[in-house]
């Protein structure tokens, strides 16, 4: 018995034709992590709507089937460092890593998700094509085209696929080169779980997308700029019926989104969930993604506690108002402190704040402002659990801070925060500085950086592997240019062929405002 036998499928699937084309939807991590990804589940659901396409699933630890008879493999690719698992899955199934080495009987390999939507260039050697935009806008047409061209040669298939909106096939492969591929945006309702399982990292939780993107436009944030425009479905017409459907199968509801509490009808949604809990007793449990400080009210905090929240997370980035203005984080220290007090007073005993070091124009004074800010919060909320999770600023393509490099002093800043926050009893949880550098290389890299990524993978994919691969390729690839250097605003960007929701000139203006 496998984990697949333990699943509860929540949607109806068409009976597949015996001659259906086999398509593998792959997630570059373990089953328990991948099946918790709403984006991955949505891809599985959308591609499964046709009777002419048979969809199977691949993870790093388990596969529904081998590559035999698999004509297409689509990866959900949302985190840069998962690339090594993509390579591993391909090799496990005897599929060449390089697209130009694949033969007529090899699967056509593609991907979608946050990474290719921002900058696919480091991976043009590995994928036959990329999906750019919300999958809801391209899945049906892609599936129809796959069915239509099933009897063509590999090259003919790719030529046909290159003509689809939202499909990016880079030049240099003997195929028509697309000057710019514009990201396609869905305006319809958002998505929800199609599979429940106790083997997920969110066990038996029915997840509902409450918001897509974020309206605040923090200048470093790919979650905002990369998924614009900010969209929220109707509470009455979508969210409540979707919750009712989910409650037929489980008592656990997860509300997903970069800015869930900024849904304009969030309190109405909360009222409904509380009314359901009142009817069902204490059996309903609601989990929520991070909240925004200026959206927290007593009603929201009390309601979330009643619905089972024991802790909440909040991204505040810094305790420096000056720096927060630069990054366009439109919330004050006073508002954050008041929101934290409101959350603690509701009965929720643990808060995790997300911060960042190495932001453009950050000074030592800004770090000290963060320490003073957290010291004040601890003094005002004695006995409460407070943690500060700190990442290193990594420039992301398609954002206004894409022209800035990583701060070489960020590692020392993490050490300084660790020492000072320990003194005041704040649980400090830093991300790795060294791995942040690799993220930056991938985020801002061009096609040549693929050589480093592949060699590092061959050498074991450790930090030492990357350092060795960078040294061996330093004559061809200036890694520091992609990782550390601040680029001139006139620099030709590697990802210039990908057009996000905002015009590139608008993104440039947002950068200048900083």
Write out the two tokens for 17: 């034709």
Q: Quote the DSSP letter at residue 212.
A: B
Instruction: Strand 205-209: give its sheet, edge to edge.
Output: 205-209, 252-256, 285-288
Q: In 3-state terms, what secondary structure has residue 319?
A: coil
Q: Give the per-residue pLDDT at 264.
A: 95
Spatial separation of the C-alpha atoms in residues 80 and 116, rounded to whole Å: 9
Residue 356: φ, ψ to 5°: -150, 145
Q: In 3-state terms, what secondary structure has residue 253?
A: strand
Bridging pattern class, strands 350-357 and 311-317: parallel
User: What confidence tier does 178 reach under pLDDT thresholds 50, 70, 90?
Assistant: low
Residue 1: pLDDT above 80?
no
* Dihedral over Cα of 291, 295, 296, 302: its sign: negative
Q: In 3-state terms, what secondary structure has residue 162?
A: coil
Spatial separation of the C-alpha atoms in residues 145 and 370, rounded to whole Å: 53
Q: What burial letters (b/e) apply to 331-367, b meaning 16+ CB within 10 Å?
A: bebebbbebbbbbbebebebbbbbbbbbbbebeeebb
Report helix angle 449-458 to 463-472, nearest 10: 130
Write out the two tokens for 149: 């061209």
Nearest to 156 by CA among 106, 104, 109: 104
**Which one is the CATH code of 204-513: 3.80.30.20, 3.20.20.10, 3.30.430.20, 3.40.50.10880?**
3.80.30.20
Q: Which helix (H) or strand (E) holds 355?
A: strand 350-357
Residue 201: φ, ψ to 5°: -65, -20
Average pLDDT over residues 83-94: 97
CA distance readout (Å), 140 to 58, 130, 145, 428: 21, 16, 9, 46
- Name the CA dihedral angle for 433, 434, 440, 442, rounded to a multiple of 10 degrees: -150
Q: How many helices (H) and strands (E) does the chain have?
A: 19, 17
Average pLDDT over residues 214-225: 95
User: What confidence tier does 184 reach under pLDDT thresholds 50, 70, 90?
Assistant: confident
Residue 123: φ, ψ to 5°: -120, 15
DSSP E strands in 116-259: the ranges are: 129-131, 167-168, 181-182, 195-196, 205-209, 252-256
Domain 3-182 has CATH 3.40.50.280: yes
Write out the two tokens for 43: 């891809």
Q: Give the per-residue pLDDT at 249.
A: 96
User: What confidence tier does 291 reach under pLDDT thresholds 50, 70, 90?
Assistant: very high
Burial class (CB in 10 A: 0-12, 13-18, 19+), 19: exposed
Residue 180: pLDDT above 80?
no
Bridging pattern class, strands 181-182 and 195-196: unpaired
Spatial separation of the C-alpha atoms in residues 64 and 25, rounded to whole Å: 10
Q: Give the per-residue pLDDT at 214.
A: 93
User: What confidence tier does 173 reach under pLDDT thresholds 50, 70, 90?
Assistant: low
Average pLDDT over residues 93-109: 96
User: What confidence tier does 179 reach under pLDDT thresholds 50, 70, 90?
Assistant: low
Residue 148: φ, ψ to 5°: -70, -35
Nearest to 20 by CA among 57, 56, 62: 56
Which residues touch 401 (CB under 8 Å, ≥6 apart)? 219, 220, 327, 360, 393, 395, 511, 514
* Dihedral over Cα of 478, 479, 484, 486: its sign: positive
Mean pLDDT value across the chain: 95
Domain ranges of the chain: 3-182, 204-513
Residue 171: pLDDT above 70?
no
Q: Give the per-residue pLDDT at 177.
A: 52
Spatial separation of the C-alpha atoms in residues 476 and 474, rounded to whole Å: 5
Spatial separation of the C-alpha atoms in residues 181 and 144, rounded to whole Å: 20
Burial class (CB in 10 A: 0-12, 13-18, 19+), 15: exposed
8 Å CB contact between 42 and 191? yes
Q: Which helix (H) or strand (E) holds 481?
A: helix 479-483
Spatial separation of the C-alpha atoms in residues 35 and 39, rounded to whole Å: 9
Q: Give the per-residue pLDDT at 67.
A: 78
Average pLDDT over residues 433-459: 98
Indicate the pTM of the whole model.
0.95
Nearest to 181 by CA among 194, 171, 195: 171
Strand partners for 25: 57, 74
* Helices of type H across 312-448: 321-327, 333-345, 364-380, 410-423, 433-444
Q: How far is residue 239 CA from its own chain's centroid?
A: 22
Residue 186: pLDDT above 90?
no
* Dihedral over Cα of 370, 374, 375, 377: its sign: positive
pLDDT in tens, 452-494: 999 999 999 999 999 999 999 999 999 999 999 999 999 999 9
């Amino acid at each position: 018995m496998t984990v697949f036998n333990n699943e509860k499928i929540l949607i109806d699937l068409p009976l597949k034709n015996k001659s259906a084309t086999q398509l593998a939807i792959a997630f570059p991590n373990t089953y328990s992590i991948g099946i918790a990804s709403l984006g991955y589940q949505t891809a599985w659901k959308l591609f499964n709507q046709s009777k002419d396409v048979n969809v199977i699933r691949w993870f790093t630890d388990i596969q529904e089937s081998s590559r035999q008879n698999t004509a297409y493999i689509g990866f959900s690719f949302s985190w840069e460092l998962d690339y090594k698992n993509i390579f591993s899955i391909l090799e496990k199934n005897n599929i060449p890593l390089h697209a130009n080495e694949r033969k007529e009987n090899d699967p056509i390999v593609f991907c979608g998700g946050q990474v290719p939507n921002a900058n696919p260039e480091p991976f043009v050697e590995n994928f036959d094509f990329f999906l750019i935009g919300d999958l809801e806008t391209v899945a049906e047409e892609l599936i129809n085209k796959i069915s239509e061209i099933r009897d063509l040669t590999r090259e003919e298939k790719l030529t046909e696929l290159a003509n689809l909106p939202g499909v990016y096939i880079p030049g240099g492969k003997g195929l028509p080169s697309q000057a710019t591929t514009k990201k396609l945006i869905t305006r319809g309702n958002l998505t929800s779980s199609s599979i429940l399982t106790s083997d997920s990292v969110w066990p038996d939780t029915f997840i509902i997308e409450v918001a897509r993107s974020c309206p605040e436009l923090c200048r470093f944030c790919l979650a905002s700029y990369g998924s614009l425009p900010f969209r929220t479905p109707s509470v009455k017409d979508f969210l409540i019926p979707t919750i009712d459907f989910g409650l037929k199968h489980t008592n656990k509801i997860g509300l997903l989104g970069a800015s869930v509490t900024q849904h304009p009808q969030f309190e109405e949604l909360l009222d409904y969930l509380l009314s359901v809990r009142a009817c069902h007793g204490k059996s309903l449990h609601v989990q929520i993604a991070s909240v925004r400080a200026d959206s927290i009210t007593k009603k929201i905090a009390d309601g979330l506690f009643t619905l089972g929240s024991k802790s909440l997370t909040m991204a505040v980035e810094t305790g420096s108002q000056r720096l927060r203005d630069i990054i366009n984080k439109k919330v004050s220290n006073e508002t954050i402190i008041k929101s934290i007090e409101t959350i603690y007073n509701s009965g929720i005993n643990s808060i995790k704040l997300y911060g960042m070091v190495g932001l453009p124009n950050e000074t030592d004074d800004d770090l000290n402002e963060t320490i003073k800010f957290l010291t004040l919060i601890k003094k005002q909320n004695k006995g409460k659990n407070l943690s500060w999770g700190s990442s290193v600023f990594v420039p992301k393509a398609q954002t206004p801070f894409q022209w800035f490099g990583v701060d070489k002093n960020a590692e020392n800043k993490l050490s300084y925060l660790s020492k000072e926050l320990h003194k005041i009893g704040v649980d400090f949880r830093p991300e790795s500085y060294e791995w942040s550098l690799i993220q930056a290389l991938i985020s801002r890299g061009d096609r040549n950086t693929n050589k480093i990524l592949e060699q590092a993978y061959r050498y074991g994919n450790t930090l030492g592997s990357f350092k060795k691969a960078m040294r061996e390729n330093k004559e061809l690839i200036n890694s520091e240019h992609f990782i550390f250097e601040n680029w001139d605003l006139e620099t030709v960007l590697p990802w210039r062929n990908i057009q996000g929701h905002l015009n590139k000139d608008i993104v440039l203006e947002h950068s200048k405002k900083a």
